[in-house]
């Protein structure tokens, strides 16, 4: 697969770093320009045929990187005499693309991504459509969804809409944003007119002609915009500590799996209306600490309200969108969420027979955890299950995880299983603190 890097930005917000002497994509981070970090990641993934689209001070980029041989890649350049937006240059690059697909990235972000996983997802959604197939964008949650454009993803990651940060939002939204990395079909180049500025999102990805053909690849890997001095400093810290490389899904990940009712939110019996969902007061802080650590935060929850006919699947989704919105208001997010809508016992007046099954996902079975482990390359030896019931603790044991019982919600009083947790904590915040910082806990 070939790659295109859009590197024409001037970088007005980075003047304190660039001194107006170099373009934004050459801003140095830990001794290397942003573009070099990007090229090295692409090369590690076997993507060595790269075209860089330049604009402001494009000659500086060409002088710095040359033909790419010292980095183990082959570089070509296309220079925009006048700015053509995030996609206008594609009108000139049809002859450059030799295969049926290409990778496109913006030249102002640092990333460390296992592109083979993203390409596998792309192929699974597009089959053999080839150069006229669909598009895949890299999607992930972030710590500031309230001022970000939010993606609405449907079944199998299909992009069903975008909520703009510039519009007033009513209701609740998933915390899922477009990170600026794409796999596009070759015929993307034919959608643009030479000499006409164009926007990749508005004029292509989210244009009506792509309805049903754009998918979001959810990943927990590191992708961060480095377009301000503050963000460059943050990225530099992450590079120095190894946090950037560690998040690549080619490496085993560690995770804190978290129960929902009674652990994240107040336990009020079966919750089947969004208005009944309220976060416990330390939840956002606890999850924010996980977000800043090397651990993933993934929710694993039984929701028999669907099987019992108390609400529809969409209502459960609305409750989870409320949770994402409330966490996002405090700068926190969960990396993924899995829920089981099934319940094996029959005889409830309004029960939904479609979900009255003995499944493999309902805790204490481990179907949801196994699904997450496969999706995010999670190592059970480094991971935890945190919950308020003995069912949660038994689930963790069944999955080979360490376990933490919290004294909120049921506080272990359900008594369904004769099992003892590795640690017992007052709430989720204490559990996270002990997992992250207690050497005795880490040595269990």
Residues with catalytic roles: 259, 261
Can you tell me the distance from the alpha carbon of 242 to that of 236, in angstroms, rounded to the nearest whole number? 10
Closest CA to 367 of 256, 261, 257, 254: 257
Helix (H) or strand (E) holding 436: helix 428-437
Confirm if 97 and 17 have CB atoms less than 8 A apart. no
| Sign of the torsion formed by the C-alpha atoms of 338, 344, 345 and 348 | positive
Can you tell me the distance from the alpha carbon of 8 to that of 23, in angstroms, rounded to the nearest whole number? 8
Rounded to whole angstroms, what are the CA distances from 15 to 53, 60, 217, 225, 358?
Answer: 21, 16, 33, 16, 61
Find residue 424's DSSP bridge partners. Answer: 405
Can you tell me the distance from the alpha carbon of 304 to that of 340, in angstroms, rounded to the nearest whole number? 7
DSSP label at residue 343: -
Confirm if 284 and 411 have CB atoms less than 8 A apart. no
- Find all residues with CB under 8 Å of 438, minimum gap 6, and list them: none
Q: What's phi and psi for 332, nearest 5 deg?
A: -120, 160
Find residue 135's DSSP bridge partners. Answer: 214
Closest CA to 185 of 297, 97, 279, 253: 97
Find residue 137's DSSP bridge partners. Answer: 182, 216
């Amino acid at each position: 697969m070939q790659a295109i890097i859009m590197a024409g930005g001037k970088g007005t917000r980075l003047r304190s770093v660039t001194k107006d002497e170099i373009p934004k994509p050459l801003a140095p981070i830990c001794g290397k320009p942003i573009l070099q970090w990007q090229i090295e990641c692409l090369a590690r993934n076997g993507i060595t045929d790269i075209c860089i689209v330049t604009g402001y001070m494009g000659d500086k980029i060409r002088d710095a990187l040359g033909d790419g041989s010292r980095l183990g890649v082959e570089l070509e350049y296309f220079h925009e005499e006048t700015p053509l937006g995030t996609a206008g240059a594609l009108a000139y690059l049809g002859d450059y693309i030799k295969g049926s697909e290409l990778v496109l990235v913006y030249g102002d972000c640092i990333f460390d991504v296992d592109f083979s996983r993203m390409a596998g997802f792309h192929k699974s959604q597009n089959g053999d459509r080839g150069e006229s197939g669909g598009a895949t964008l890299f999607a992930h949650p972030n710590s500031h969804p309230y001022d970000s454009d939010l993606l609405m993803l449907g079944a199998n990651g299909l992009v069903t809409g975008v909520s703009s940060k510039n519009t007033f939002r009513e209701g609740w939204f998933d915390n899922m944003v477009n990170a600026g990395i794409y796999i596009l079909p070759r015929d993307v180049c034919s959608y643009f007119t030479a000499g006409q500025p164009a926007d990749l999102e508005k004029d292509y990805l989210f244009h009506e002609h792509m309805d049903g053909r754009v998918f979001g690849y959810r990943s927990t890997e590191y992708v961060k915009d480095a377009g301000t001095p503050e963000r460059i400093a943050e990225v530099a810290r992450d590079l120095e500590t190894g946090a950037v490389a560690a998040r690549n899904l080619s490496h085993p990940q560690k995770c804190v799996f978290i129960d929902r009712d009674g652990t994240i939110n107040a336990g009020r019996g079966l919750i089947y209306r969004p208005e009944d969902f309220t976060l416990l007061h330390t939840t956002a802080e606890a999850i924010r600490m996980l977000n800043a650590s090397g651990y993933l935060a993934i929710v694993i929850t039984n929701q028999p309200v669907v099987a019992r006919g108390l609400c529809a699947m969409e209502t459960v989704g609305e409750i989870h969108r409320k949770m994402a919105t409330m966490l996002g208001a405090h700068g926190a997010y969960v990396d993924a969420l899995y829920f089981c809508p099934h319940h094996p016992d029959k005889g409830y007046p309004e029960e939904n027979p479609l979900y009255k099954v003995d499944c493999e996902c309902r805790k204490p079975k481990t179907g949801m955890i196994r699904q997450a482990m496969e999706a995010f390359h999670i190592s059970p030896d480094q991971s935890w299950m945190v919950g308020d019931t003995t069912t949660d603790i038994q689930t963790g044991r069944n999955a080979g995880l360490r376990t933490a019982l919290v004294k909120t919600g049921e506080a272990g009083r359900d008594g369904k299983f004769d099992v003892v947790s590795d640690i017992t904590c007052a709430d989720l915040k204490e559990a996270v603190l002990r997992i992250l910082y207690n050497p005795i806990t880490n040595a269990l």
